[in-house]
Structure 1
Amino acid sequence: MQVTIDKPFQLELDVIATDEHVPSMKMDVVVRVQQFRHSLEYRGSMWFEYSCWETFVSSLNDGEARTATLTDMDACLVLALDTSGGAPEICGDFKSVALDGSIAKAACRFPADLEVVINNGTRATGTNPREISRGVKSKVN
């Protein structure tokens, strides 16, 4: 499964492994933010519970939901589409923890035209994690 968002920033999610013992999937994540003269790129691999992914997709499809949040199992990535404050926003918080305990963090927040994000800037293939697990050939490590 691959999910790509092109606007207002670039987000790429690609499933590389699944684990049925702890219903979850490992994704390669790439985030690219270009703003004015600055750019930020985040790359990492992380595990997401199927239930978290299903809740995120369900919230995106629910016209009444105020927030759709996707968080990996270690809380290194928190991605939220939020309409609770009136104007829609896309927020991303990213962190990486090294073996020595040092932490790198980055965050971004964009006003978002969700119609543009969902209809023009997003491409997804295979959003059902149960179907994904049948299609991923990678070994769980």
Structure 2
Amino acid sequence: MVINIEKPLRLCLDVVETEEHIPSMEMQIAVDVQQFGHELAYKGSAWFDCATWDAFVQGLAAPDTTEVSLVDMDEHFTLTFGVVNGSLELAWEMKKRDTSGAVTTATFRSPIDADTFAHVTLQFKEFERWW
């Protein structure tokens, strides 16, 4: 069960483990952003609550009237769609704090067109749910 988004950033979400007791899934996350002659690559994993996943997918039906976000259970990964200054926008953020207080943050924001949004929405709607 994989989700692949190719633009405006490369994002791959791949299920590696599921938990039935608290319906959730661990996903391997790979992000690649290439912009201004620079590249940002992220690889890691996060757990997503299945009810949160369902709410996100339902929210994709009307991103022009409300902001919709997919956030992992530890609130480190966020993928958001919404309207900013009249344009549909995709935003991704990964933020993690270690025990010493050091914080690592990676953020990407980009306007997207209707075709790109339709492709992303289709990826999430066609995602094979096991719950």
TM-score (norm 1): 0.80
**1:61 maps to what in 2?**
61
Q: How does 1:88-99 map to 2 (within 5 A)?
A: 88-99=88-99
How many pairs align? 130
- Structure 1 residue 36 and structure 2 residue 36: aligned? yes
List alignment gaps of at least 5 residues for structure 1.
131-141
Judged with a 3 Å threshold, the aligned counterparts in structure 2 of structure 1 residues 33 and 46 are, in CA distance, closer, same or farther, namely: same
User: Sequence identity of aligned pairs in percent?
Assistant: 34
Structure 1 equivalent of residue 22 of structure 2: 22
CA gap 1:60/1:120 in 2 versus in 1, 3 angstroms:
closer
1:37 to 1:49, Cα distance in 2 relative to 1, 3 A? same
- The reply to whether residue 106 of structure 1 matches residue 106 of structure 2 is yes
Aligned-partner Cα distance in 2 for 1:84–1:37: 25
Check the 8 A contact 1:54/1:128 in 2, yes or no. Answer: no
Amino acid at match of 2:88: P
1 CA distance for matches of 2:120 and 2:64?
21
Q: Which amino acid aligns with 1:59?
A: G
Post-superposition Cα deviations, 1:85-107, rounded to whole Å, max 9, x if no partner, equal 42111111112333444221111
- Cα separation, 1, equivalents of 2:13 and 2:45: 9
Please report the TM-score for the alignment, with normalisation by the length of structure 2. Answer: 0.85
Sort the Cα spacing of 1:109 and 1:84 in 2 relative to 1 into closer, same or farther, 3 A.
Answer: closer
Deviation at 1:61, TM superposition (A): 3.1
Which structure has more RCO (C-alpha within 8 Å, separation ≥ 6)?
1
Give CA-to-partner distance per residue, 1:52-85, whole Å, 9 cap, x none: 1101111113476522210001111111011264
Root mean square deviation of aligned Cα: 2.3
